[in-house]
Amino acid sequence: MQQSVQRTVVGLLLTALASLWVGALAAQAEAPEVSGNATLEIRLFPQTTAYPGQRSQSVSLSFEPEYYQPFGSHSLIITPFIRADSADGRRNHFDLREAYFLYVAERFELAIGLRKVFWGVTESQHLVDIINQTDLVENPDTEDKLGQPMVHLLLPSDYGTVELFALPYFRERTYPGRRGRLRGPLPVDPDRTTYAAGAEQYHLDLAARYSHTLGPWDVGLSHFSGTSREPNLTPTAGGTVLAARYPLIQQSGLDLQLTWEQWLFKAEAIHRTGQGPGYYAWTGGFEYTLVGLFGSNMDLGLLGEWLRDSRGRSARTPFQQDILGGMRLVWNDAEDTQALIGGITDPRYGTLSVFIEASRRVATSTILSLELRLSDAPADDPIFNAVDQDDFFQLSLARYF
Amino acid sequence: MSTTRYLTTLTLSGVLLGSLIGLPAVLAETAEEKGLAIAVEADKRDTGWGDSASHLTMILTNRHGQESTRENHNRTKEVDGDGDKTLIVFDTPRDVKGTALLSFTHKTTTDDQWLFLPALKRVKRISSANKSGAFVGSEFAYEDISSQEIEKYTYRYLRDDTYDGAPCFVVERIPTDPNSGYSRQEAWYDKEHYRIMKVAYFDRKKAPLKTLTFHGYRQYLDRYWRADEYLMENHQTGKTTKLLWRDYKFGNGFSDKDFTKAGLKRAR
């Protein structure tokens, strides 16, 4: 009852606001802009499959156009995304990455609709970043996000920027299906999802962030109150599938970067309650850039990050106590050639995961990218061991317009 | 971008005052003082323009003559007593469309730079210590296109010369920043307007590296000169980069709020 009332009120309010806005703006419309990309992706998994039904290769196509319509100090942005995949049905999916109105005034900015928001500074994981749900079927690196419905108010001042978020609808995390790789022994069944919130997906989540730059320091403080983006997964239906349950949490976050000469020093920390006992997690590290390597135009960046989670082995994250080391090579050529090579290890389990991400412009507005992920995990590392057979090589060709 | 500013130290005022009241320039003026006086005068003549916006097309040519093109649009605001604030938004190639670079240049300390990556909606503070690094794969280093503050060099007047028929002062500039990719530069200032017509760059081993020439100077607001075309030739690699500027607009009324990290996310 409460749920349906809340749903109706939120829906009515949003519709009323949107129609007022559109009506007022139609008169000021300028020429719209359309851009985007179409991408062909090939994945090869050379190792034998760990679970029945899984495939050893996939070919997929994705398309992500962006429509931008300015109206004076207002604008409308719509970015749909669609993928079709030859192996995993769950990767055949459509999402509105963004679909929002933005109003920029002298003292504030207001955005209403689906939007992507990124918080944080570190490279290995994004602890503080919590507004958008992870689109995990896209890539196990958790960098792809689903569009999040929101009312987003941004208030700039000389003393920092305050942002307030009202998030009226929750998006479930996407997971690979039975035929997909990069998953545990049991697939996640989206029909069995449950929520701690009585209003389920319509629970109103709230978030606030303060960020500021003081000389060489960039600092962010944030708080989130609502449904966790990360579910607890439990075997169900006689142990044949996993069911996701999304608890209600409170999460406070801090992100910090010091930029000094060729050094970047970075740290992120969170404290979360409501998902098991309260816990802390943090990531800290550096990036050092050597400019003009061996008298060439190339830059070499050296990265190191340390990851900790106060729950230790009981944490459901793959990063309880890990170390990342890596190097970023940037050729500074007309083709924008670059490569990131790294490894993450958990010294307690002896797990090692290695990755290479490289890209180069091969024709006008056409980027060829290569990604390689190899991991070796002992049986007692519950998360990495589940994907121990899922080393993969990915090649993608993206045409931008 | 590439503008200079007035410095109000007693020493410099003394030099200026000397030239204003018509003392013969040769009177006890060293080559260093004359070089600095020329740079200060050029800077003074290019101060007070407030803000500007323009479109830039970059044409990169390799030694085989193959061309690639990049376009951006940019905004710059003068800051009293400090370096300019600049926002560059890339338009082409289409794979970098929407990528935006915000720079706060400073007279004596390192610049502040933030890069917006549209695919991830992520703003990254980046190190500005890569002054000698190539700007988007071109023959221009970051230090060539960033705000040319007086304090970034020490100066020495070398000789008089003519460039393209115009009488010029040739001034040696030695970068004060140890991260600079150059041991020295020679800059040709035309005597009539104190515009830079040509710069010869020498690498850290003192070998000739690049030559930059300016073409198609036009006057804006009846006072400030901007060149339509910059041509940078790299003598060591045979590569060139041509910068074509168009749609210069002054008096846009930009405020500091148009140059913020939060605003970078919606830069178009």
The answer to whether the Cβ–Cβ distance between A361 and B93 falls below 8 Å is: yes
Cα–Cα distance for residue pair B183/B173, rounded to 1 Å: 9
Of residues A261, A301, A296, the one with CA closest to residue B181: A296
Locus of tokens 């003192």: B206
pLDDT of A10 reads 67
Instruction: Please tell me if residue A7 touches chain B, with a CB cutoff of 8 Å.
Output: no
From residue B112, how far is each of A211, A258, A261, B144, B173 by CA, in Å?
A: 16, 12, 11, 16, 23
Instruction: Name the amino acid, one letter, at A231.
Output: P
Q: Which domain holds residue A281?
A: 2-400
The predicted pLDDT at position A6 comes to 65
Determine if the peptide bond prior to B93 is cis (ω within 30°).
yes
For the record, the structure tokens of A142 come out as 């958790």
Q: How far apart are CA A299 and CA A293, in angstroms?
A: 6
Token pair, residue A359, equals 């890209």
How do A241-246 and A194-195 pair as beta strands?
parallel
B64 reaches A (C-beta below 8 A): no
Q: How far apart are CA B73 and CA B53, in angstroms?
A: 8
Interface of A with B in 24-83 (CB under 8 A): 35, 37, 68, 70, 75
What is the CB neighbour count within 10 angstroms for residue A291?
Answer: 22
Instruction: Kindly tell me the burial class for residue B196, based on how many C-beta atoms sit within 10 Å of its own C-beta (0-12, 13-18, 19 or more).
Output: buried
Among B60, B93, B126, select the one facing A365 at the smallest CB separation.
B93
Q: Which residues of B touch A366 (CB under 8 A)?
A: 95
Q: Are A318 and A383 in contact (CB under 8 A)?
A: yes
How many of the other CB atoms lie within 10 Å of CB of B132? 20
Secondary structure (DSSP) of chain B: ---------HHHHHHHHHHHTT--TTTT--HHHHHHHHHHHHHHHT----EEEEEEEEEEE-TT--EEEEEEEEEEEEETTEEEEEEEEEEESGGGTT-EEEEE--SSSPPEEEEEETTTTEEEEE-S--TTSBGGGSS-BHHHHS---GGGEEEEEEEEEEETTEEEEEEEEEES-TT-SEEEEEEEEETTT--EEEEEEEETTS-EEEEEEEEEEEEETTTEEEEEEEEEEETTT--EEEEEEEEEEE-----GGGS-HHHHTT--
Predicted confidence at residue B148, as pLDDT, reads: 84
Produce one character per residue of B158-181: b if its CB has 16 or more CB atoms within 10 Å, e if not. Answer: beeeeeeeeebbbbbbbbebebbb
Phi, psi of A27 (to 5 degrees): -65, -30
Q: Return d(Cα A229, Cα A316) in angstroms, integer.
A: 13
Residues B127, A332: C-beta atoms closer than 8 Å: no
Mutate to test the interface with A, among B121, B179, B257 (most CBs of A within 10 A): B121
Nearest beta carbon to residue B137 from set A35, A211, A334: A334
- Closest chain A residue by Cα to residue B110: A261
Q: What is the pLDDT of residue A328?
A: 95
What's the pLDDT tens digit per position in A32-86?
Answer: 999 999 999 999 999 999 898 899 999 999 999 999 999 988 999 999 999 999 9
Rounded to the nearest 5 degrees, what angle is found at the Cα of B202, between the Cα atoms of B199 and B203? 140
Cα–Cα dist A391/B110, whole Å: 43
Q: Which of A161, A335, A401 sits opposite B262 (nearest CB)?
A: A161
Single-letter residue type at B125? R
The answer to whether residue A154 scores a pLDDT higher than 70 is yes
For A257, nearest residue in chain B (alpha carbons) = B125
| H or E segment and range at residue A386 | helix A382-386
Nearest-CA distance from B43 to chain A in Å? 26
- List beta partners, residue A143: none
Q: Which residue among A117, A262, A297 places its CB closest to the CB of B121?
A: A117
Number of separate domains in chain A = 1
Q: Among A118, A218, A336, whose Cβ lies nearest the Cβ of B125?
A: A218
CATH code, residues B10-74+130-249: 2.50.20.10
Q: In chain B, which residues have their Cβ closer than 8 Å to the Cβ of A400? A: 93-95, 97
Contact map slice: B 77-136 vs A, CB within 8 A: 92-98, 110, 112, 120-134, 136
Pick the residue from chain B with its C-alpha nearest to A288.
B127
Beta bridge partners of B92: B71
Distances (CA, A) of A398 to A16, A95, A362, A365, B62: 39, 19, 10, 8, 24
Beginning with the edge strand found earlier in the chain, give each strand of the sheet holding A194-195 in spatial order: A194-195, A241-246, A232-236
Q: Please count the CA atoms within 13 angstroms of the CA of B177 that sit on its side-chain side.
A: 23
Given an 8 Å threshold on Cβ–Cβ distance, is A70 in contact with B268?
Answer: yes
Give CA–CA dist A80/A251, Å, rounded: 30
Both tokens of B155, joined, read: 């100066």
Which of B60, B102, B117, B124 to probe by mutation at the A interface, max A CB count within 10 Å? Answer: B124
Is any Cβ of chain B less than 8 angstroms from the Cβ of A116?
A: yes
* CATH code assigned at A199: 2.40.160.10
- Test A336 with B137 for CB contact under 8 angstroms: yes
For B:177-236, CB contacts with A below 8 A are 179, 181
- Confidence check: pLDDT of A26 > 90: no
Query: How many contacts (CB atoms, under 8 Å) link A and B?
Result: 100
Which ipTM was obtained for this model?
0.91
Q: What is the pLDDT of residues A104-136, one digit of tens each?
A: 998 999 999 999 999 999 999 999 999 999 999
Q: Is B37 left (phi over 0), alpha (psi -120 to 50) or beta?
A: alpha
pLDDT tens for each residue of A303-322: 999 999 999 877 777 777 89
Angle, helix B31-45 to helix B10-20, in steps of 10 degrees: 90
Among B95, B120, B123, whose Cβ lies nearest the Cβ of A143?
B120
Per-residue model confidence (pLDDT) at position B134? 86
Q: What distance lies between CA A374 and its chain's CA centroid? A: 21
Q: What is the token pair recorded at A146?
A: 């689903």
Determine whether the interchain pair B94/A261 forms a contact, defined as Cβ–Cβ distance below 8 Å: no
Burial of A28 (0-12, 13-18, 19+ CB in 10 A): exposed
Residue B159 to residue A24: CA distance in whole angstroms? 64
Q: B85, B90, B125, B210: which to substitute to probe chain A, counting the most A Cβ within 10 Å?
A: B125
Q: How far is CA B218 from the centre of its chain?
A: 17
Q: Dump pLDDT digits (tens) for A210-222.
A: 999 999 999 999 9
Residue type, A24: A
Tell me how close the Cα of B94 comes to any Cα of chain A, in angstroms: 5
CB-CB under 8 Å, A291 with B132: yes
Residue A383: its H or E element: helix A382-386
For position A257, what pLDDT does the model report?
Answer: 98
Joined tokens for residue A65: 């156009």
- Cβ-based neighbours of B7, under 8 Å, separated by 6 or more: B40, B43, B150, B151
In chain B, the residue whose alpha carbon lies closest to the alpha carbon of A212 is B261
Determine the residue of chain B that is closest to A145 in CA distance.
Answer: B120
CB-based contact A88:A234 (threshold 8 Å) = no
Query: Which of B89, B126, B130 best tests the A interface by mutation, with the highest count of A CBs <10 A?
Result: B130
Strand partners, A75: A70, A102
Q: What is the mean pLDDT of residues A151-177?
A: 96
The pLDDT, as a whole number, for residue B199 is 98
Predicted confidence pLDDT, tens digits, chain B (268 residues): 334 433 333 344 444 444 444 455 555 689 999 999 999 999 999 999 999 999 999 999 999 999 999 999 999 999 988 889 999 999 999 999 999 999 999 988 888 999 999 999 999 999 887 778 889 889 999 899 888 889 999 999 999 999 999 999 999 999 998 889 999 999 999 999 999 999 999 999 999 999 999 999 999 999 999 999 999 999 999 999 999 999 999 999 999 888 999 889 888 8
| Contacts with A70 from chain B: Cβ below 8 Å | 268
Quick one: pLDDT at residue B6? 38
Contacting A residues, span 381-400, partner chain B, CB-CB under 8 Å: 398, 400
Question: Taking CB atoms and an 8 Å limit, are B94 and A211 in contact across chains?
Answer: no
Give the distance from residue B62's alpha carbon to the nearest chain A alpha carbon, in angstroms.
9
From the list A35, A102, A289, the residue facing B130 with the nearest CB is A289
| Band of pLDDT at residue A25, cut at 50, 70 and 90 | low
